[in-house]
Amino acid sequence: MLMDGSAPQIQGLGDVLIRENNPAVSGITMTDANEIAQWLTRTCDWHFKHNLDPLSEVLTKEDMDQIRLFHHITNPEDMDTFIQWASTHLEKKLQATNRATGTCLSLVEAIEMARPYDMQVYADQKKLNETCEKLNETCVQKNLHNTIKHRLASNGHRMNNHAQKANEDHEVRAKLMEIQQRKASLDERKWQLATESKALQEEKKQTSGGKKHRINVPAGHRPTLPDFGDVVPCNSDKENLNPFLETSCGPMPFDLPPELEPLPQSHYPVPYSIQGHPCNSQSAFPPSTCPASFYASHSDVYNNFTKPSNHNF
Protein backbone atom coordinates (compact mmCIF):
# COMPACT_ATOMS: atom_id res chain seq x y z
CA MET A 1 0.00 0.00 0.00
CA LEU A 2 1.31 3.41 -0.98
CA MET A 3 1.02 5.97 1.80
CA ASP A 4 1.75 9.69 1.79
CA GLY A 5 3.90 9.52 4.94
CA SER A 6 1.31 10.18 7.65
CA ALA A 7 2.23 8.31 10.86
CA PRO A 8 -1.41 7.95 12.07
CA GLN A 9 -2.32 6.36 8.76
CA ILE A 10 0.46 3.80 9.12
CA GLN A 11 -0.53 3.04 12.70
CA GLY A 12 -4.17 2.63 11.73
CA LEU A 13 -3.14 0.36 8.89
CA GLY A 14 -1.14 -1.78 11.32
CA ASP A 15 -4.16 -2.15 13.61
CA VAL A 16 -6.35 -3.26 10.70
CA LEU A 17 -3.73 -5.73 9.47
CA ILE A 18 -3.42 -7.34 12.91
CA ARG A 19 -7.19 -7.89 12.95
CA GLU A 20 -7.47 -9.14 9.36
CA ASN A 21 -4.26 -11.16 9.19
CA ASN A 22 -4.44 -14.96 8.88
CA PRO A 23 -1.00 -16.39 9.64
CA ALA A 24 -1.89 -19.67 7.93
CA VAL A 25 -2.39 -17.84 4.62
CA SER A 26 0.03 -14.90 4.82
CA GLY A 27 2.79 -16.56 6.80
CA ILE A 28 3.14 -13.43 8.99
CA THR A 29 3.09 -14.29 12.67
CA MET A 30 3.78 -10.84 14.09
CA THR A 31 1.34 -9.32 16.56
CA ASP A 32 2.76 -5.77 16.75
CA ALA A 33 0.94 -3.26 14.53
CA ASN A 34 4.05 -1.16 13.89
CA GLU A 35 6.06 -4.18 12.78
CA ILE A 36 3.39 -5.75 10.59
CA ALA A 37 2.80 -2.41 8.80
CA GLN A 38 6.38 -2.44 7.61
CA TRP A 39 5.65 -5.49 5.44
CA LEU A 40 2.90 -3.85 3.39
CA THR A 41 3.54 -0.11 3.59
CA ARG A 42 5.50 1.96 1.08
CA THR A 43 5.78 5.72 1.18
CA CYS A 44 5.39 7.29 -2.25
CA ASP A 45 7.92 10.12 -2.18
CA TRP A 46 7.29 11.01 -5.84
CA HIS A 47 3.54 11.26 -5.24
CA PHE A 48 4.21 13.31 -2.14
CA LYS A 49 6.46 15.76 -4.00
CA HIS A 50 4.26 15.84 -7.09
CA ASN A 51 1.27 16.99 -5.05
CA LEU A 52 3.36 19.81 -3.61
CA ASP A 53 4.09 21.38 -6.98
CA PRO A 54 0.64 23.02 -7.36
CA LEU A 55 0.91 24.33 -3.78
CA SER A 56 4.21 26.05 -4.52
CA GLU A 57 2.35 28.37 -6.90
CA VAL A 58 0.11 29.79 -4.16
CA LEU A 59 2.24 29.47 -0.99
CA THR A 60 5.36 31.25 0.18
CA LYS A 61 8.77 29.62 0.49
CA GLU A 62 8.49 29.42 4.31
CA ASP A 63 5.17 27.57 4.08
CA MET A 64 6.56 25.15 1.51
CA ASP A 65 9.59 24.39 3.68
CA GLN A 66 7.30 23.55 6.59
CA ILE A 67 5.16 21.29 4.42
CA ARG A 68 8.19 19.41 3.07
CA LEU A 69 9.17 18.56 6.65
CA PHE A 70 5.86 16.74 7.13
CA HIS A 71 7.17 13.22 6.51
CA HIS A 72 9.93 13.80 9.11
CA ILE A 73 7.44 14.22 11.98
CA THR A 74 8.10 11.54 14.65
CA ASN A 75 5.94 12.46 17.69
CA PRO A 76 2.23 13.21 18.17
CA GLU A 77 2.88 16.70 19.52
CA ASP A 78 4.54 17.85 16.30
CA MET A 79 1.77 16.19 14.28
CA ASP A 80 -0.92 18.04 16.25
CA THR A 81 0.96 21.29 15.72
CA PHE A 82 1.17 20.67 11.99
CA ILE A 83 -2.53 19.77 11.76
CA GLN A 84 -3.50 22.92 13.66
CA TRP A 85 -1.32 25.06 11.39
CA ALA A 86 -2.62 23.48 8.17
CA SER A 87 -6.30 23.53 9.18
CA THR A 88 -6.20 27.24 10.11
CA HIS A 89 -4.16 28.41 7.13
CA LEU A 90 -5.71 31.05 4.88
CA GLU A 91 -5.04 29.03 1.72
CA LYS A 92 -7.89 26.60 1.09
CA LYS A 93 -5.70 24.22 -0.89
CA LEU A 94 -3.59 23.64 2.22
CA GLN A 95 -6.60 22.98 4.47
CA ALA A 96 -7.30 19.63 2.74
CA THR A 97 -6.44 16.65 4.97
CA ASN A 98 -6.16 12.91 4.55
CA ARG A 99 -9.46 12.28 6.28
CA ALA A 100 -11.23 11.91 2.90
CA THR A 101 -10.37 9.29 0.28
CA GLY A 102 -12.41 10.66 -2.62
CA THR A 103 -15.03 7.89 -2.26
CA CYS A 104 -16.98 9.55 0.55
CA LEU A 105 -15.52 6.94 2.92
CA SER A 106 -13.30 7.25 5.92
CA LEU A 107 -9.78 5.92 5.79
CA VAL A 108 -10.60 2.79 7.84
CA GLU A 109 -13.66 2.00 5.71
CA ALA A 110 -11.61 2.37 2.55
CA ILE A 111 -8.97 0.00 3.90
CA GLU A 112 -11.62 -2.55 4.87
CA MET A 113 -13.11 -2.40 1.35
CA ALA A 114 -9.67 -3.02 -0.15
CA ARG A 115 -9.80 -6.72 0.88
CA PRO A 116 -12.73 -7.66 -1.46
CA TYR A 117 -11.02 -5.81 -4.27
CA ASP A 118 -7.78 -7.67 -3.64
CA MET A 119 -9.66 -10.97 -3.66
CA GLN A 120 -11.25 -10.07 -7.00
CA VAL A 121 -7.85 -9.19 -8.46
CA TYR A 122 -6.46 -12.49 -7.14
CA ALA A 123 -9.34 -14.44 -8.70
CA ASP A 124 -8.85 -12.71 -12.07
CA GLN A 125 -5.14 -13.42 -12.00
CA LYS A 126 -5.74 -17.07 -11.11
CA LYS A 127 -8.24 -17.41 -13.94
CA LEU A 128 -5.76 -15.85 -16.34
CA ASN A 129 -3.09 -18.30 -15.26
CA GLU A 130 -5.44 -21.23 -15.84
CA THR A 131 -6.26 -19.87 -19.29
CA CYS A 132 -2.57 -19.63 -20.12
CA GLU A 133 -2.04 -23.23 -19.02
CA LYS A 134 -4.87 -24.38 -21.28
CA LEU A 135 -3.39 -22.42 -24.18
CA ASN A 136 -0.09 -24.14 -23.63
CA GLU A 137 -1.78 -27.53 -23.63
CA THR A 138 -3.73 -26.84 -26.85
CA CYS A 139 -0.72 -25.15 -28.54
CA VAL A 140 -2.76 -22.04 -29.22
CA GLN A 141 -0.44 -19.09 -29.41
CA LYS A 142 -1.19 -16.17 -27.16
CA ASN A 143 -1.71 -12.78 -28.75
CA LEU A 144 1.18 -10.75 -27.43
CA HIS A 145 -0.36 -7.55 -28.78
CA ASN A 146 -3.57 -7.91 -26.77
CA THR A 147 -2.24 -7.08 -23.36
CA ILE A 148 -3.55 -4.32 -21.15
CA LYS A 149 -0.62 -2.15 -22.16
CA HIS A 150 -1.37 -2.56 -25.86
CA ARG A 151 -5.09 -1.97 -25.37
CA LEU A 152 -4.47 1.21 -23.42
CA ALA A 153 -2.01 2.40 -26.05
CA SER A 154 -4.52 1.64 -28.82
CA ASN A 155 -7.22 3.53 -26.96
CA GLY A 156 -4.87 6.47 -26.56
CA HIS A 157 -4.02 6.50 -30.27
CA ARG A 158 -7.71 6.23 -31.10
CA MET A 159 -8.54 9.20 -28.90
CA ASN A 160 -5.73 11.23 -30.45
CA ASN A 161 -6.96 10.40 -33.95
CA HIS A 162 -10.50 11.37 -33.03
CA ALA A 163 -9.28 14.65 -31.54
CA GLN A 164 -7.15 15.41 -34.60
CA LYS A 165 -10.04 14.61 -36.92
CA ALA A 166 -12.32 16.83 -34.85
CA ASN A 167 -9.81 19.68 -35.17
CA GLU A 168 -9.61 19.20 -38.94
CA ASP A 169 -13.40 19.09 -39.18
CA HIS A 170 -13.57 22.28 -37.13
CA GLU A 171 -11.15 24.04 -39.51
CA VAL A 172 -13.12 22.82 -42.53
CA ARG A 173 -16.39 23.95 -40.97
CA ALA A 174 -14.93 27.35 -40.17
CA LYS A 175 -13.69 27.75 -43.75
CA LEU A 176 -17.02 26.60 -45.20
CA MET A 177 -18.84 29.05 -42.96
CA GLU A 178 -16.60 31.88 -44.16
CA ILE A 179 -17.20 30.91 -47.81
CA GLN A 180 -20.93 30.76 -47.18
CA GLN A 181 -20.92 34.23 -45.62
CA ARG A 182 -18.96 35.66 -48.56
CA LYS A 183 -21.37 34.01 -51.02
CA ALA A 184 -24.34 35.44 -49.14
CA SER A 185 -22.73 38.89 -49.29
CA LEU A 186 -22.17 38.56 -53.04
CA ASP A 187 -25.76 37.40 -53.56
CA GLU A 188 -27.00 40.42 -51.62
CA ARG A 189 -24.80 42.72 -53.72
CA LYS A 190 -26.01 41.03 -56.90
CA TRP A 191 -29.63 41.58 -55.88
CA GLN A 192 -28.93 45.27 -55.18
CA LEU A 193 -27.22 45.73 -58.56
CA ALA A 194 -30.13 44.02 -60.33
CA THR A 195 -32.57 46.36 -58.59
CA GLU A 196 -30.54 49.46 -59.54
CA SER A 197 -30.20 48.23 -63.14
CA LYS A 198 -33.95 47.72 -63.38
CA ALA A 199 -34.60 51.23 -62.04
CA LEU A 200 -32.13 52.77 -64.52
CA GLN A 201 -33.71 50.83 -67.39
CA GLU A 202 -37.13 52.18 -66.44
CA GLU A 203 -35.75 55.73 -66.21
CA LYS A 204 -34.10 55.36 -69.62
CA LYS A 205 -37.37 54.15 -71.11
CA GLN A 206 -39.27 57.11 -69.70
CA THR A 207 -36.60 59.57 -70.88
CA SER A 208 -36.46 58.27 -74.45
CA GLY A 209 -40.21 57.95 -74.76
CA GLY A 210 -39.91 54.56 -76.36
CA LYS A 211 -37.80 55.86 -79.29
CA LYS A 212 -34.29 54.90 -80.23
CA HIS A 213 -31.73 57.66 -79.89
CA ARG A 214 -28.19 57.69 -81.13
CA ILE A 215 -26.03 58.09 -78.05
CA ASN A 216 -22.47 57.69 -79.35
CA VAL A 217 -22.27 60.84 -81.53
CA PRO A 218 -18.81 61.94 -82.86
CA ALA A 219 -17.37 65.12 -81.44
CA GLY A 220 -17.67 67.00 -84.77
CA HIS A 221 -21.37 66.17 -85.09
CA ARG A 222 -22.41 67.36 -81.69
CA PRO A 223 -24.52 70.57 -81.54
CA THR A 224 -22.38 73.55 -80.59
CA LEU A 225 -24.87 76.42 -80.97
CA PRO A 226 -24.89 78.66 -77.91
CA ASP A 227 -27.99 79.53 -76.03
CA PHE A 228 -29.87 82.74 -76.69
CA GLY A 229 -28.16 85.69 -75.03
CA ASP A 230 -24.75 84.04 -74.70
CA VAL A 231 -23.18 85.62 -77.83
CA VAL A 232 -20.67 88.31 -76.80
CA PRO A 233 -19.05 90.48 -79.54
CA CYS A 234 -15.30 90.49 -79.67
CA ASN A 235 -15.22 94.32 -79.41
CA SER A 236 -18.13 96.06 -77.74
CA ASP A 237 -17.07 99.46 -79.17
CA LYS A 238 -17.65 98.31 -82.74
CA GLU A 239 -20.90 96.52 -82.04
CA ASN A 240 -22.95 98.93 -84.23
CA LEU A 241 -20.51 99.08 -87.17
CA ASN A 242 -21.26 97.56 -90.51
CA PRO A 243 -19.75 94.06 -90.52
CA PHE A 244 -19.11 94.30 -94.30
CA LEU A 245 -16.96 97.39 -93.85
CA GLU A 246 -15.27 96.51 -90.58
CA THR A 247 -14.32 92.91 -90.18
CA SER A 248 -11.35 93.34 -87.89
CA CYS A 249 -11.92 92.50 -84.23
CA GLY A 250 -8.79 94.19 -83.05
CA PRO A 251 -5.32 95.32 -84.07
CA MET A 252 -3.17 93.42 -86.49
CA PRO A 253 -1.52 90.40 -84.92
CA PHE A 254 1.90 91.67 -86.05
CA ASP A 255 3.56 94.64 -87.85
CA LEU A 256 5.60 94.20 -91.01
CA PRO A 257 9.17 95.48 -91.13
CA PRO A 258 9.82 98.57 -93.33
CA GLU A 259 11.38 96.59 -96.19
CA LEU A 260 8.21 94.46 -96.45
CA GLU A 261 5.71 97.31 -96.27
CA PRO A 262 3.74 97.82 -99.57
CA LEU A 263 4.71 100.72 -101.83
CA PRO A 264 2.68 103.93 -101.70
CA GLN A 265 0.13 104.64 -104.43
CA SER A 266 2.42 107.12 -106.21
CA HIS A 267 4.86 104.38 -107.07
CA TYR A 268 2.26 102.26 -108.77
CA PRO A 269 1.92 102.58 -112.57
CA VAL A 270 -1.23 104.00 -114.08
CA PRO A 271 -3.98 101.37 -113.94
CA TYR A 272 -5.11 99.94 -117.17
CA SER A 273 -8.66 101.21 -116.66
CA ILE A 274 -7.61 104.89 -116.87
CA GLN A 275 -4.90 104.59 -119.50
CA GLY A 276 -5.44 106.23 -122.92
CA HIS A 277 -6.83 103.66 -125.20
CA PRO A 278 -5.86 103.82 -128.85
CA CYS A 279 -9.50 104.01 -129.80
CA ASN A 280 -10.26 106.74 -127.20
CA SER A 281 -12.91 104.62 -125.62
CA GLN A 282 -13.42 103.44 -122.03
CA SER A 283 -12.12 99.96 -121.40
CA ALA A 284 -14.72 97.33 -120.75
CA PHE A 285 -12.45 95.58 -118.26
CA PRO A 286 -12.81 96.33 -114.55
CA PRO A 287 -10.02 97.91 -112.58
CA SER A 288 -7.08 95.66 -112.12
CA THR A 289 -6.44 94.11 -108.73
CA CYS A 290 -2.96 92.83 -109.52
CA PRO A 291 -0.16 93.60 -107.08
CA ALA A 292 2.44 96.28 -107.71
CA SER A 293 5.04 93.76 -108.81
CA PHE A 294 2.84 92.83 -111.74
CA TYR A 295 2.79 96.40 -113.05
CA ALA A 296 6.46 96.90 -112.41
CA SER A 297 7.39 93.87 -114.50
CA HIS A 298 5.12 94.87 -117.40
CA SER A 299 5.84 98.60 -117.51
CA ASP A 300 8.54 98.20 -120.18
CA VAL A 301 6.22 96.24 -122.41
CA TYR A 302 3.57 98.93 -122.07
CA ASN A 303 5.97 101.73 -122.90
CA ASN A 304 7.19 99.95 -125.99
CA PHE A 305 3.65 99.36 -127.07
CA THR A 306 2.66 103.04 -126.76
CA LYS A 307 5.73 104.48 -128.60
CA PRO A 308 5.22 105.33 -132.30
CA SER A 309 6.67 102.79 -134.63
CA ASN A 310 8.78 103.57 -137.70
CA HIS A 311 7.32 100.69 -139.63
CA ASN A 312 4.77 101.30 -142.31
CA PHE A 313 1.96 98.84 -142.64
Supply the pLDDT for residue 145: 79
Largest CA distance in the chain: 194
CA distance 293 to 291: 5
Most confident of 22-36, 227-241, 295-309: 22-36
d(CA 4, CA 47) in angstroms, rounded, equals 7
CA 198 vs CA 109, 207, 210, 252: distances in Å: 85, 14, 16, 60
* Confidence (pLDDT) at 21: 87
Judged by DSSP in three states, 268 sits in: coil
pLDDT at 192: 92
Other residues' Cβ atoms within 10 Å of the Cβ of residue 37: 22
Please tell me whether residue 42 adopts helix, strand or coil conformation.
strand
Q: What are phi and psi of 43, to 5 degrees?
A: -90, 125
Per-residue model confidence as pLDDT tens digits over 34-79: 888 877 776 666 656 666 777 778 888 888 888 888 778 888 888 8
Residue-wise pLDDT for 128-168, tens only, equals 888 888 877 887 777 777 888 888 888 888 888 888 888 78
What average pLDDT does range 239-260 have in this prediction?
A: 58
Q: SS3 of 114, please?
A: helix
4 against 26, higher pLDDT:
26
**Model pLDDT, residue 151:** 86
The terminus-to-terminus CA distance of the chain in angstroms comes to: 174
CA dihedral 252, 255, 260, 265 (to 10 degrees): 60
Q: What pLDDT is recorded for position 162?
A: 84
Whether the CB-CB separation of 250 and 280 falls below 8 Å is answered with: no
Task: Please name the helix (run of DSSP H) or strand (run of DSSP E) that holds residue 202, with its range, or none.
Answer: helix 148-208
Question: How confident is the model at residue 238, as a pLDDT?
Answer: 56
Q: What is the pLDDT of residues 102-130, one digit of tens each?
A: 566 666 677 778 888 888 888 888 888 88
Is the model's pTM score more than 0.85?
A: no
Q: State the Cα angle at 247 between 244 and 251, rounded to 5°.
A: 155
